[in-house]
Amino acid sequence: MKKAAALFADSRFLLAFAVVIGAAAGFASLSALQLGSFLVINILLAQSINLLTGLAGQISLCHAAFFGIGAYGSAIFMRDLGLPLPATLAIGTLASAFFGYLLSFPSGRVREFYLAMMTLGFGMIFYEVAKEWTGLTGGVMGFSDIPSPELRNLDVFGFPVTSVWYFRLLLATLLVVLYLLRNFLQSHYGRAFYAVHVGEVAAGSMGISKAATKRRAYALSAAVAGLAGAFYAHLVGYLGPESFGLHKSVEALVMGVLGGLGSLVGPVLGAALLTYLPDRLQMFAEYQFMIYGAILMVSFIVMPRGLAGLLPGRTRFSKRPARAGKEEPPAVAPHRFTPSEARGEALLEVRDVSMSFSGLLALDGVSLSLPRNHVMALVGPNGSGKSTLVNVVSGIYRPTSGRVLLQGADITGWRDYAVARKGVIRTFQDPRNVPNFTVRENILLGAHHLYRHGQVAAALNIPSALREERVYLRKVEEVMEVTGLVTVADEIMRDLPYGYQRIAEVARAVVSDPDVILLDEPAAGLSDVELVRLDRLIRHLRARDIGIVLIEHHMDFLSDLVDDVTVLDDGKVIYRGGMEGMRSDSAVVAAYLGVEEVPHA
C-alpha cells in the first residue's frame, strides 16, 4: 500500500501510467470510455472545490454554478456561434473564473457562514437563470444538439474527435491541470492560500493580503470548475438546469470532503469513489442524498482528513528547487540605513496616538520612539493598552488620532499586510502557525512578501521561479540554524511542543527581513532552556540592526535583555527609562500597587 502510494506520488510514474491508460483507451468499450471521461471531469471538479474550500478555506456551496457556467458557456459558443473546441473550452473557463472573481468581493468582509449562505444563494440564482432564460439556455426543455463525440459532429481543426480521443484529450488536460496546480500549491501563492485559511490576521502579519488571496482562490477555483463543465457539455451533448442544482454542489462538496480537503490526492480519491459507486450500485442512486448527508455530518469528526488522511505521505508545500547553478546572491539582504535615520530620526515613531472604541479610550496620546539595534520592553498592568498599541502599529486598527512613522514614512492607518511589507512584523500571544505545515514551510511563509515571481511563473515552474524559491529556502535554513530549529525542520508544526512553535513564529518574523519586530509575550509558557534560546535570538536580532519591541510580564526575563522600558497605564505612557529606575518610580509602583491610602507602618 505504501509502495503503491509512493509510486503514484512520483510524477514520472504518473505520466507513464497516464500514457498507458490513454493507449488502452483505444481498446475500451464505449461505456468504459464514458465512465472514464466522467471520472476525469469529476476529478477536475473535485480539485476545483478543494482549491477554494480545502486550501483557501472558503466554503463553497455553489460549485454547480461554476460548473454550469462553463458548460453552458462552451455549449452556446459552439452550437450557436460555431467556435471551435479549444476556444469554447477557454471561454467556458474564463466565464466561470469571472463569476468566481465577482463572488470573491463580499468574502473579504464577512464571516464564513455569511459566505456559505451567499454561495448557496448564488447557486440558486444560477439555477433560476438557467431555468428562466429560455432564449439562451433552452430553459427547462434543455439545451440540446451540443457537438459531441457521440453525435460524431465534434471536431478540432477539421479532425473528428471520437470518444476515444475525447477521453485522451480529457486525460491530457487533467495531467496539465494537475501539474500546474501542484506547482502553484508548492509556490508562495499556494502557501498563502493555506495561511489565509488557517488565520487571516496572522497571514496579514506576514504581508499576505487576504482579499487578494481570496480573489485569486475564487477565480482559480471557478476556472477549473468551468473547464470541467465545458468538457461535460460536450461529453453529454445535452444540458438541463436540473443537472446544476444544489445536489450537484453537494456532490462536489462531498467529493472534496470525503477525499480529503487540503491535499492534492484527496480530490482524486473522492471523485473516483463518487463516480464509481453510483455507476455500480443502483441502490446508491436511491439513497444518494441520504448518503451524502450522512458523510457530511460525520466526516469532520470521524475522518477530518478524508480518505487521503489514510494514506502515507503528505502534500508538499514548497518547490523542489533547481540544482545550484551559477553564483547566487547572498540570502541575507544587506542592511539599509535610510536617509531619515542618518538624520537621527527614529526607526519607528509613534506620535501622540489615541485609540478609542465606541467611546472607550484604550490609548491616550501615546508617544514613543524606537531606534535600530535596540530592544524596548512594553509593560503595564492589565488593560493598560499594550496589545492595542501593537495592533495600531501593525495596522490591525486605525488610530483615532496620531501618527505612526517608519523610517520617517507615515504608515498610519495602513493595512496590516502593507505594514508588514514595509518592514514591521509582529508575533501573537498564542503562536499562530499553520498547524499542518512543516516548520520549514511555516518559516518560509515569512518570506512571502519578498517573492517577485508571478502566478504564471509559479505554475509553470520556470527556472527563475525555482531559483527564487531556492534562495529563500536557503534563507530559512540560515534562520533555522540561528534559532536552533534545524533538527525539527521537517516536523509537522502541530506535533511539536509549544516552545518550538513559539520560536518558529519568531523565526518566521526574522525571515521577513524586518526593520521592526513586535513580540507579544513571547516568553509565556517557555521552559528555562527555551527562555535562554529566546534571549539569545533577541540579542542576535538586535545586532542585526533591527528594532525590537517586547511586550512582557516576565520581568526577570526582561531585566538583562532590554535597553529600556516603556510603561503604560490606562492607555498613557507613565514611564520611559531603564528597568532599575522603573522599579523605584513612584508612578509605576502606584500603577501596579495602587497608591490610594498608602498605609503608614
Give residues 458-517 in contact with another protein (rule: CB under 8 A).
Answer: 497-499
Segment interacting with another protein (CB under 8 A) among 24-32, 140-148, 206-214, 383-391: 383-391
- Point out which residues pair with 409 in neighbouring strands: 406
Burial 445-460 (b: 16+ CB within 10 A, else e): bbbbbbbebeeebbbe
Lay out the sheet containing 409-410: strands in order across.
360-370, 348-357, 401-406, 409-410
DSSP string, 552-572: -S-HHHHHTT-SEEEEEETTE
Q: How far is the CB of 3 from another protein (least distance, A)?
A: 33
Q: What's the grid cell of residue 547?
A: 528594532
Q: Scanning residues 230 to 289, which ones bind another protein (CB under 8 A)? A: 245-246, 250, 253, 257, 286-289
Comparing CB distances to another protein, the nearer of 235 and 291 is 291
- Who's near 488: CB < 8 A, 6+ residues apart? 439, 496, 500
- Who's near 212: CB < 8 A, 6+ residues apart? none
- Give the Cα separation of 210 and 269 in Å (integer): 30
Half-sphere exposure of 458 (CA within 13 A, CB side): 21
At 151, the amino acid letter reads L
Comparing CB distances to another protein, the nearer of 129 and 492 is 129
Binding test (CB under 8 A) with another protein, winner from 381, 408, 413, 484: 381
Comparing CB distances to another protein, the nearer of 21 and 296 is 296
Torsion of CA 242, 65, 168, 43, to 10 degrees: -100
Binding test (CB under 8 A) with another protein, winner from 383, 454, 463, 577: 383
Q: How far is the CB of 239 from another protein (least distance, A)?
A: 19
- Point out which residues pair with 569 in neighbouring strands: 572
- From residue 84 to residue 103, the character string flagging contacts with another protein as x (rule: CB under 8 A) and all else as - is --------------------
Number of amino acids touching another protein (CB under 8 A)? 83
Q: How far is the CB of 72 from another protein (least distance, A)?
A: 16
Segment interacting with another protein (CB under 8 A) among 36-44, 125-133, 140-148, 212-220: 125-133
Q: Scanning residues 147 to 166, which ones bind another protein (CB under 8 A)? A: none
Q: What's the grid cell of residue 373?
A: 539595534
Comparing CB distances to another protein, the nearer of 52 and 154 is 52
Binding test (CB under 8 A) with another protein, winner from 116, 164, 486, 587: 116
Comparing CB distances to another protein, the nearer of 402 and 525 is 525
Closest CA to 346 of 516, 513, 206: 516
Interface with another protein includes 592 (CB under 8 A)?
yes
Binding test (CB under 8 A) with another protein, winner from 51, 169, 558, 561: 558
Q: How far is the CB of 464 from another protein (least distance, A)?
A: 36
Interface with another protein includes 121 (CB under 8 A)?
yes
Binding test (CB under 8 A) with another protein, winner from 2, 3, 111, 343: 111
Q: How far is the CB of 149 from another protein (least distance, A)?
A: 32
Q: Scanning residues 392 to 421, which ones bind another protein (CB under 8 A)? A: 396
Q: How far is the CB of 485 from another protein (least distance, A)?
A: 17
378 phi-psi bin (left φ>0, alpha ψ -120 to 50, beta other): beta
- From residue 23 to residue 62, the character string flagging contacts with another protein as x (rule: CB under 8 A) and all else as - is ------------------------------x---x-x-x-
Closest CA to 434 of 40, 2, 39, 57: 57
Q: Are 425 and 518 in contact (CB under 8 A)?
A: yes
Segment interacting with another protein (CB under 8 A) among 294-302, 337-345, 346-354, 364-372: 294-302
Q: Scanning residues 327 to 356, which ones bind another protein (CB under 8 A)? A: none
- Give the Cα separation of 341 and 407 in Å (integer): 7
Q: Are 544 and 574 in contact (CB under 8 A)?
A: no
Q: How far is the CB of 428 from another protein (least distance, A)?
A: 8
Comparing CB distances to another protein, the nearer of 182 and 432 is 432
Q: Are 561 and 392 in contact (CB under 8 A)?
A: no
What's the distance, CA 381 to chain centroid?
36
Interface with another protein includes 118 (CB under 8 A)?
yes
Q: How far is the CB of 75 from another protein (least distance, A)?
A: 21
Q: How far is the CB of 90 from another protein (least distance, A)?
A: 28
Interface with another protein includes 528 (CB under 8 A)?
no
Comparing CB distances to another protein, the nearer of 1 and 301 is 301
- Give the Cα separation of 163 and 500 in Å (integer): 55
- From residue 572 to residue 591, the character string flagging contacts with another protein as x (rule: CB under 8 A) and all else as - is -------x--xxx---xx--
Q: Are 479 and 507 in contact (CB under 8 A)?
A: yes
Environment class of residue 406 by beta-carbon count within 10 Å: exposed (0-12), middle (13-18) or buried (19+)?
buried
Closest CA to 275 of 69, 49, 44: 44
Binding test (CB under 8 A) with another protein, winner from 553, 563, 576, 587: 553
Q: What's the grid cell of residue 197?
A: 485559511
The gap between the terminal CA atoms of the chain, to the nearest Å, is: 78
SS3 state at 97:
helix
Interface with another protein includes 9 (CB under 8 A)?
no
SS3 state at 228:
helix
SS3 state at 547:
strand
Q: How far is the CB of 274 from another protein (least distance, A)?
A: 14
- Give the Cα separation of 8 and 26 in Å (integer): 23
Interface with another protein includes 566 (CB under 8 A)?
no
Q: How far is the CB of 400 from another protein (least distance, A)?
A: 14
Segment interacting with another protein (CB under 8 A) among 219-227, 230-238, 375-383, 479-487: 375-383
Interface with another protein includes 312 (CB under 8 A)?
no
Q: How far is the CB of 286 from another protein (least distance, A)?
A: 6
Q: Scanning residues 181 to 220, which ones bind another protein (CB under 8 A)? A: 201
Torsion of CA 52, 252, 126, 198, to 10 degrees: -20
Binding test (CB under 8 A) with another protein, winner from 279, 341, 345, 430: 430
- Give the Cα separation of 125 and 347 in Å (integer): 53
